[in-house]
């Protein structure tokens, strides 16, 4: 157990809304081995971004962590005070945000956004050492050194994303949480950025949680995949397993909906709409859209069980 670099157990995160509690993350548990690539897939509103933020204890009111534990390399994160948590962020667990959006401070140069992280984590470097470090970081993400003195608005979407990766890895973290890092980029740039991320991850021997909704991307990048639906983990399995033998009806529908270059015909979707997290159906959250739903599905919430090396939360698996 102590070889696991990150462990999430029974995490529950809710948002207090005047019209009711929104259960964004419902009893999620998983664990990461060092250097492992873990994917977290789900549609918008499935709770994956909330999960990522709650690992870093960055949930703000009206949201709160209701239950569960997060362990990082043997340390229980709930035991850390605010200062301890702050020190842990970026240096041990780093977030790579969606950089092509607004994640970079518009009035600071890129190098300033690296050095302020270094400084606030206690690193005392000379100007020369700083410049050296920045140059190395930028090179590692495939950016020319001239980027250091630029402002975010002077960079393209792909360059901004790489800059975010550079910032996120400047303290050589052991866990990288990449939250939809390529969602707003075109496919060519996507490929480049993912390749960069893969290279860095191997070099740092860091574990990566890739949060996203692109199953194709997941298939190419991750070792293991967790599928989220309505705030719950419904299936966790090695990627090869999931793609060839999806066990949960939702996962099956997701895989089936991927457009193929070989087959032709109508695109397969999933009937119905994603549930409103404030008003979840009883029992299994997917049952209104599931073609195989039984009475038990409507009343009893399925738990994640082990089946042949995969974990599935379905009564019918």
Partner 1 sequence: MQAAYVARRFGVFLLIVWLAGTLNFFLPRMSGQDPVRTKLLQQAALGGYVQGGIEEMTREYERRFGLDKPLWRQYLTYLHDISQLDFNYSIANYPRTVRELVADALPWTIGLLGITTLLSFGIGTLLGALLAWPRAPRWMVWLMPPLWALHAIPFFLLGLILTYLLAFQMPLLPIFGGYSAGITPALSWSFAWDVLQHALLPALSIILVATGGWALGMRGMTVTILGEDYVVFAEAKGLRASTVFMRYCVRNAILPQVTALALALGQILSGAVLVEVIFGYPGIGTLLYQAIRENDHFVIQGIVFTVIVALGFTTFVLDVVYPWLDPRISYHRT
Residue from the set 13, 65, 90, 176 that interacts with partner 1 by CB under 8 A: 90
Number of residues that bind partner 1 (CB under 8 A): 30
CB of 231 to partner 1, least distance (A): 20
User: CA distances (Å), 231 to each of 43, 44, 227, 290, in order?
Assistant: 10, 11, 10, 17
Among 102, 136, 156, 299, binds partner 1 (CB under 8 A): 102
CA distance 211 to 245: 21
- Which 56-85 residues touch partner 1, going by CB under 8 A? 56, 58, 60
The rounded distance, in Å, linking the Cα atoms of 114 and 109 is 9
Stretch that binds partner 1, among 104-112, 137-145, 180-188, 258-266 (CB under 8 A): 104-112
Q: How buried is 112 (Cβ within 10 angstroms: 0-12 exposed, 13-18 middle, 19+ buried)?
A: middle
Among residues 68, 123, 151, 191, which is the contact residue for partner 1, using CB under 8 A?
151
d(CA 26, CA 169): 30
Q: Which of 60, 123, 71 is nearest to 93 (CA)?
A: 71
Quick check: 121 binds partner 1 (CB under 8 A)?
A: yes
Per CB under 8 A, 104 contacts partner 1: yes
DSSP H or E run through 76: strand 75-76
Return phi, psi of residue 177, to 5°: -105, 110
Query: DSSP assignment, residue 232?
Result: E
As measured in angstroms, the least distance from the Cβ of 53 to partner 1 is 8
Answer yes or no whether residue 103 interacts with partner 1 by CB under 8 A: yes
Query: In angstroms, rounded to a whole number, what is the distance separating the alpha carbons of residues 158 and 109?
Result: 17
Q: Which of residues 2-61 bind partner 1 (CB under 8 A)?
A: 56, 58, 60
Nearest-approach distance from CB 151 to partner 1, in angstroms? 5
Tell whether residue 138 is a contact of partner 1 (CB under 8 A).
Answer: no
Residues of the shown chain interacting with partner 1 in the complex, contacts defined by CB under 8 A: 56, 58, 60, 86-91, 94-95, 97-98, 101-108, 116-117, 120-121, 151, 153, 164, 167-168
């Amino acid at each position: 157990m102590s070889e696991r670099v990150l462990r999430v157990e029974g995490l529950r995160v809710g948002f207090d809304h005047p019209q009711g509690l929104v259960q964004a993350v419902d009893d999620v548990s998983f664990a990461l081995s060092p250097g492992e690539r873990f994917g977290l897939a789900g549609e918008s509103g499935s709770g994956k971004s909330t999960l990522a933020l709650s690992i870093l204890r960055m949930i703000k009111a009206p949201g709160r962590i209701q239950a569960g534990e997060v362990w990082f390399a043997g340390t229980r994160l709930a035991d850390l005070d605010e200062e301890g948590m702050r020190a842990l962020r970026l240096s041990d667990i780093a977030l790579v945000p969606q950089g092509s959006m607004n994640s970079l401070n518009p009035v600071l140069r890129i190098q300033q956004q690296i050095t302020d992280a270094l400084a606030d984590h206690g690193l005392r470097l000379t100007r020369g050492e700083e410049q050296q470090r920045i140059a190395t970081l930028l090179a590692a993400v495939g950016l020319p050194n001239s980027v250091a003195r630029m402002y975010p608005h002077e960079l393209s979407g792909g360059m901004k994303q790489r800059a975010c990766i550079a910032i996120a890895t400047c303290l050589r973290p052991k866990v990288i949480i990449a939250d939809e890092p390529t969602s707003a980029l075109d496919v060519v740039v996507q490929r480049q950025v993912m390749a960069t991320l893969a290279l860095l991850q191997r070099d740092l021997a860091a574990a990566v949680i890739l949060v996203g909704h692109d199953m194709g991307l997941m298939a190419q990048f991750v070792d293991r995949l967790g599928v989220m639906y309505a705030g719950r983990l419904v299936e966790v399995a090695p990627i090869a397993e999931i793609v060839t033998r999806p066990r949960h009806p939702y996962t099956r529908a997701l895989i089936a909906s991927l457009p193929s270059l070989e087959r032709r015909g109508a695109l397969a979707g999933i009937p119905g709409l994603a549930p409103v997290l404030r008003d979840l159906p009883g029992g299994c959250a997917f049952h209104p859209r599931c073609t195989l739903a039984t009475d038990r599905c409507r009343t009893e919430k399925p738990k994640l069980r082990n089946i042949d090396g995969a974990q599935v939360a379905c009564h019918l698996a």
